[in-house]
């Protein structure tokens, strides 16, 4: 028994020893491989410091590419994004046993060795896809040691990665000629399409191209490329990977490739995104075809502008605030036009483009409704005296007309009511930053462009008119969140959009077509702006689906005289709208907006107003049933009285009396008076002298109801001023006033001309013939107005009240068609 046990024990020891002798080398080899793997790690792409980057449109089409530190560009892709035709062609031609071997195919290596010996030179390397990836990651010379290194690296790859990962490395790093690496870059570079869209012939060509990228380049050697492609097709047919019919049709396809040109669409946006994101693939929200059309058109449009001028365009889809086209420079790369400066983000004076935000805030604050009575007359706020862009004054205007005509003075007065600090803080809060000069406190001039902002910020704000009052930053990548903040109520957004939608098209201004016949911009609300000195011309349009912003000017801030929003930026904006898809949606009128008839000068509902207080009836849009009355005028030297004023009448004589009249019967009467400063623009029957009866001689005259206390004494309005007989020289006239307080400010065609003492005469000689508006304003805001016509030739006098225009070779700015904007 003991001997048996000893024998078994000895046998077990011998077997253990044999196993140990076998296992030890294996363990040592494994240990060596582990050590080597740690000492010589794979040079996988994610370990590289510098990557090529590709910026694409929303569908993955390259817009711009940035090469890596070696000048190579790749387009990252994955297996699911590559056509199965290419995978079939690649594996069928290069490595049919890819999914079965451990990285090295011994049969292929033996076959390659015999072919090389028989040919007396290297004919085939017998490399698998894994081995080719190993060589891409770790280049080596074509030698026996190099081949051994390649084999070891292939085994190392199979150890760390699965087959799908190895194949993905090949798809992204294989050389395809020139600076192209990766099948996606090759597909776009040679065929201007994604690798997912390759035909059978194109897939076969790209499968063989990495074998000799320079020799088989289809753009340089189409004949060689076709021969190599047909060799692949033949093998795929022999192995029955593709049908005979498929191979035959593919062979008939001619090899045609684009020249390798780097795409240059949205280059400034691409640069901007690349600086903020190191990812190799940056997919934007832009649309390739639209971006190309817009960029090409803007380039041609810029060529027609004065030297050193540029153009910027931003097109955004309102629903999701995704950018669809982005042109930061009119001619990218043109140094004379500052082609490397992105004017979409540049801080510039917005001109009058902020006015819709002001009117919307005023409606929501209950200060006005859409047809509130505003005044466009000479005003002063301390040392600040705003004027209108087109010259002249309009007297009483509705809020709608003031916004459509972009009148400056009503906007300044409205901002004084709302408060500049409130206006700026509201815009800052919802993401529309305003830059104030030298960090000064907000002032009234900011509503006319005395601040800075960007085209991007303006487009973001204007889009709220089609988004129910919600503002969100423009989105350039799908993963960016949609951050909504409320600027207006839904009803106010609709009202402002409707007001701007009804603005006359520039062509209508020239042809004097009726405003209601506007068919050139159906559904598009638009606003223009021009900064001081003609430095910036703006036009922003909002349809139900898109918002388009256009800026034109010189990036260096120099003036471009004669170029302003309506003339330079607006035609381009409307042309771009014609490039957009047909309207898909409409902006529905909210239930909070109702039509209401209101009366001037009170501004109240007609149903609540006595007939004798309703001098003029208008239909207004009311938001949340708010109908604020006409507000008192905000001015440093004057707070005008309420439109409704109480007076006392002697019932026997009908004359006005007051407390100074003793022993006279009195009855109270309420009258509706227009603001005193608009008296010169009112019809005779609506002036204060017609609304208020004369004062009883036994009473003292109350100054506040005495009617107009400032009168331009001469000449009379509608006078034609002609040269004396025998002369063609423009005459000089004397202007004088009666009455007035403190000082008299004289305005000629809306511009402050001179200041004189009351009752002082002043001489005026025009520089050219034409129609001139003279307005005199005293220190208390009393106003009078005259229209005079100057001619250098003798002609019959015009009929009183006629709207004539006397023109010569030099035309007065006042004779031009009114421009729907201001500076």
End-to-end CA distance of the chain: 118
Quick: pLDDT tens for 782-820: 788 888 888 877 655 444 444 433 322 222 222 223 333
Read off the tokens for 667: 């009855």
pLDDT at 818: 33
Residue 33 carries which DSSP code?
A: H
- In sequence order, the 6+-apart residues with CB closer than 8 A to the CB of 275 are none
Residue 94 bears catalytic tag: yes
DSSP per position, 102-113? SS--HHHHHHHH
Q: Which CATH class is domain 285-348+454-589?
A: alpha beta
* Three-class SS state of 530: strand
Question: Residue 721 pLDDT > 90, yes or no?
Answer: no
Pairing of strands 733-739, 710-714: antiparallel
Predicted confidence (pLDDT) at residue 117 exceeds the cutoff of 70: no
| β pairing state of 281-283 and 53-56 | parallel
Average pLDDT, the chain: 83
Beta bridge partners of 775: 747, 785
Q: How far is CA 318 from the centre of its chain?
A: 11
Of 819 and 711, which is predicted with more confidence?
A: 711
CATH 2.60.40 fits 710-815, yes or no: yes
Cis amide bond preceding 601, omega within 30: yes
The two three-digit tokens of residue 788, written as one number? 């005079």
User: Hey, CA dihedral for 721, 725, 726, 731, is it positive or negative?
Assistant: negative
- Whether domain 46-251 has CATH 1.10.3810.10: yes
Higher local confidence (pLDDT), 86 or 692: 86
Q: Which residues contact residue 572 at a Cβ distance below 8 angstroms, ignoring those fewer than 6 apart?
A: 298, 301, 311, 313, 539, 550, 552
Indicate the helix (H) or strand (E) that contains 772: strand 770-778
Cα–Cα distance, 662 to 665 (Å, whole number): 9
Whether 640 has a pLDDT exceeding 50, the answer reads no
pLDDT confidence bin for 564, thresholds 50/70/90: confident
Q: Which of 820, 819, 817 is nearest to 807 (CA)?
A: 817
415-440: average pLDDT: 91
Residue 230's pLDDT is what? 95
To which H or E segment does residue 771 belong?
strand 770-778
pLDDT at position 110 is 67
Domain pair 46-251 / 710-815, same fold? no
Tell me the CA distances in angstroms from 818 to 359, 388, 504, one per residue in order: 21, 11, 11
Q: Which residues contact 271 (CB under 8 A, 6 or more apart)?
A: 64
% of the chain at pLDDT higher than 70? 82
C-alpha 374/C-alpha 406 separation (Å) is 13
- Report pLDDT for 124: 52
- The residue ranges of every structural domain in the chain are 2-39, 46-251, 285-348+454-589, 644-705, 710-815
CB burial string 390-399: b at 16+ within 10 A, e below = bbbbbbbbbb
- Give me 407's structure tokens: 């009148």
DSSP 3-state assignment of 316?
A: strand
Question: What is the rounded CA–CA span in Å between residue 62 and residue 78?
Answer: 16
Can you give the pLDDT at residue 519? 42
Torsion of CA 337, 338, 344, 350, to 10 degrees: -70
Rounded to 5°, the CA angle 376-739-650 comes to 90
Q: Under DSSP, is residue 378 helix (H, G, I), strand (E, B) or coil? A: coil
Confidence (pLDDT) at 299: 95
Residue 755 CB neighbours (<10 A): 12
Between 260 and 552, where is the model more confident?
552
User: What tokens does 513 get?
Assistant: 């077509």
Which contiguous run of DSSP H or E holds residue 244? helix 244-251
* Contact (CB, 8 A) for 161 and 181: no
pLDDT at 46 over 90: no
Question: DSSP readout, 381-410?
Answer: BTTB----TT-S--EEEEHHHHHHTT-HHH
pLDDT digits (tens, 9 = 90+) for 735-790: 878 776 777 888 888 788 888 887 778 888 888 888 888 888 877 777 888 888 88
Distance CA 404, CA 374 (A): 13
Structure-block tokens of residue 676: 């005193």
Express each pLDDT in 482-537 by its tens digit. 999 999 999 999 999 999 999 887 665 444 333 333 445 568 999 999 998 889 99
Structure tokens at 182: 């990766």
Instruction: Look at residue 638 and tell me whether its pLDDT is greater than 90.
Output: no
pLDDT at 302 over 60: yes
**114-123, 189-198, 387-396, 764-773: segment of lowest average pLDDT:** 114-123
pLDDT tens per residue across span 232-244: 999 999 999 999 9
Asked if 352 is an active-site residue, the reply is yes
How far apart, in whole angstroms, are the C-alpha atoms of residue 693 and residue 655? 6
pLDDT of residue 108: 66
User: What was the pLDDT predicted at 466?
Assistant: 96
Q: Inform me whether the pLDDT recorded for 79 exceeds 70.
A: yes
Q: What is the pLDDT of residue 817?
A: 30
Lowest mean pLDDT among 41-50, 394-403, 556-565, 770-779: 41-50
State the Cα–Cα distance between residues 436 and 440, nearest whole angstrom.
6
The structure tokens listed for 242 are 């593709």
- Structure-token pair, residue 507: 């062509």
**Given the structure tokens 């803080």, which residue do they identify?**
425
Centre a 10 Å sphere on the Cβ of residue 709 and count the other Cβ atoms it contains: 16
- Specify the pLDDT at position 267: 94
Q: Residue 85, exposed/middle/buried by CB under 10 A (0-12, 13-18, 19+)?
A: buried
**pLDDT recorded at residue 41:** 75
Query: Tokens in use for 684?
Result: 């005779």
- Cβ 550 vs Cβ 567: under 8 Å: no
pLDDT of residue 822: 46
Q: In terms of Cα–Cα distance, which of 367, 817, 406 is closest to 634?
A: 367
pLDDT exceeds 70 at position 47: no
Give the residue among 578, 639, 364, 376 at the shortest CA–CA distance from 492: 364
Q: Residue 457 corresponds to which tokens in the numbers above?
A: 């910020």
Catalytic residue among 83, 94, 184, 194: 94
- pLDDT above 90: percentage of residues in the chain: 46
CB distance 312 to 268 below 8 Å: no
What does the block give as tokens for 450? 């005395």
pLDDT value at 274 more than 80: yes
Residue of 194, 310, 352, 464 marked active site? 352
Cα 96–98–100 angle (5° rounding)? 105
Burial call 138-151: b when 16+ CB within 10 Å, e when fewer: beeeeeeeebebbb
Q: Determine the average pLDDT of the residues in 723-739.
A: 79
Cα 420 to Cα 414: distance, rounded to the nearest angstrom = 10
pLDDT by residue (tens digit) across 575-605? 999 989 877 678 899 999 999 999 999 898 9
């Amino acid at each position: 028994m003991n001997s048996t046990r000893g024998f078994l024990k000895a046998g077990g020891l011998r077997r253990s020893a044999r196993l140990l002798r076998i296992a030890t080398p294996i363990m040592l080899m494994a240990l060596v491989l582990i050590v080597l793997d740690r000492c010589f790690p794979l040079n996988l792409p994610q370990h590289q410091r510098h990557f090529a980057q590709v910026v694409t449109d929303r569908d993955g089409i390259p817009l711009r590419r940035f090469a890596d530190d070696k000048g190579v560009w790749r387009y990252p892709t994955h297996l699911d994004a590559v056509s199965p035709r290419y995978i079939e062609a690649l594996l069928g031609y290069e490595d049919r046993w890819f999914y079965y071997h451990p990285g090295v195919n011994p049969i292929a290596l033996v076959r390659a060795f015999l072919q090389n010996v028989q040919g007396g030179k290297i004919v085939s390397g017998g490399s698998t896809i894994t081995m080719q990836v190993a060589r891409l990651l770790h280049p080596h010379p074509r030698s026996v040691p190099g081949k051994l290194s390649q084999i070891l690296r292939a085994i190392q790859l199979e150890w760390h990665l699965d087959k799908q990962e190895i194949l993905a490395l090949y798809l992204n790093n294989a050389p395809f000629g020139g600076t192209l690496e990766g099948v996606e870059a090759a597909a776009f570079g040679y065929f201007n399409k994604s690798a997912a869209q390759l035909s059978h012939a194109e897939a076969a060509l790209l499968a063989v191209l990495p074998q000799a990228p320079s020799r088989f380049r289809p753009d340089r050697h189409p004949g060689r490329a076709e021969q190599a492609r047909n060799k692949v097709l033949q093998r795929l047919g022999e192995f029955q990977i593709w049908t005979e019919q498929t191979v035959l049709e593919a062979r008939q396809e001619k090899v045609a490739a684009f020249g390798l040109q780097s795409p240059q669409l949205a280059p400034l946006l691409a640069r901007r995104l690349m600086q903020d994101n190191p990812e190799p693939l940056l997919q934007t929200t832009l649309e390739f075809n639209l971006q190309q059309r817009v960029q090409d058109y803007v380039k041609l449009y810029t060529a027609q502008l004065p030297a050193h001028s540029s153009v910027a365009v931003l097109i955004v889809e309102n629903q999701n605030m995704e950018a669809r086209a982005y042109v930061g420079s009119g001619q990218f790369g043109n140094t004379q036009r500052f082609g490397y400066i992105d004017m979409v983000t540049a801080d510039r004076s917005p001109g009058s483009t902020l006015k819709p935000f002001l009117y919307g805030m005023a409606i929501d604050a209950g200060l006005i409704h859409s047809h509130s009575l505003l005044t466009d007359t000479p005003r002063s706020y301390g040392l600040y005296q705003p004027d209108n862009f087109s010259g002249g004054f309009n007297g009483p205007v509705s809020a709608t007309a003031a916004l459509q005509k972009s009148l400056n003075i009503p906007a300044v007065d409205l901002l004084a009511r709302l408060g500049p600090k409130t206006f700026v803080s509201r815009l800052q809060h919802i993401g529309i930053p305003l830059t104030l000069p030298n960090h000064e406190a907000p002032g009234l001039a900011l509503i006319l462009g005395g601040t800075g902002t960007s085209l991007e910020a303006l487009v973001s704000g204007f889009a709220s008119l089609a988004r129910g009052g919600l503002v969100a930053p423009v989105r350039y990548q799908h993963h960016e969140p949609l951050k909504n903040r409320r600027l207006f109520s839904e009803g106010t957004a609709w009202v402002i959009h409707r007001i701007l939608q009804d603005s006359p098209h520039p062509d209508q201004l020239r042809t004097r077509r009726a405003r209601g016949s506007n068919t050139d911009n159906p559904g598009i609300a638009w606003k223009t702006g021009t900064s001081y000195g003609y430095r910036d011309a703006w036009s922003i349009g909002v349809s139900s689906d898109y918002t388009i912003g256009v800026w034109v000017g010189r990036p260096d801030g120099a003036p471009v005289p004669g170029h302003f929003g309506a003339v330079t930026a607006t035609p381009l904006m409307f042309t771009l709208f014609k490039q957009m898809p047909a309207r898909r949606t409409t902006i529905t009128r909210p239930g909070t907006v109702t039509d209401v008839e209101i009366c001037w000068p009170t501004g109240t509902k007609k149903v609540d107003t006595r007939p004798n207080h309703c001098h003029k009836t208008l239909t207004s849009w009311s938001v949340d049933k708010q109908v604020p009355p006409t507000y008192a005028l905000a001015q440093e030297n004057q707070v005008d009285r309420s439109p409704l004023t109480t007076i006392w009448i002697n019932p026997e004589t009908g004359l006005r009396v007051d407390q100074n009249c003793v022993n006279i019967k009195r009855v109270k009467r309420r009258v509706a008076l227009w603001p005193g400063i608009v008296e010169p623009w009112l019809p005779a029957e609506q002036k204060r002298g017609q609304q208020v009866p004369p004062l009883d001689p036994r009473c003292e005259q109350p100054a506040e109801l005495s009617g107009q206390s400032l009168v331009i004494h001469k000449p009379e309005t509608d006078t034609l001023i002609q040269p004396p007989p025998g002369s063609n020289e423009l005459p000089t006239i004397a202007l004088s006033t009666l009455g007035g307080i403190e000082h008299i400010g004289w305005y000629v065609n809306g511009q402050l001309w001179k200041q004189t003492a009351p009752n002082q005469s002043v001489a005026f000689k025009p520089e050219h013939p034409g129609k001139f508006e003279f307005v005199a304003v005293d220190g208390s805001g009393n106003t009078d107005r005259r229209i005079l016509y100057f001619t250098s030739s003798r002609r019959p006098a015009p009929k009183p009240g006629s709207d004539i225009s006397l023109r010569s070779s030099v035309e007065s700015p006042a004779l031009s068609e009114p421009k729907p904007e201001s500076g």
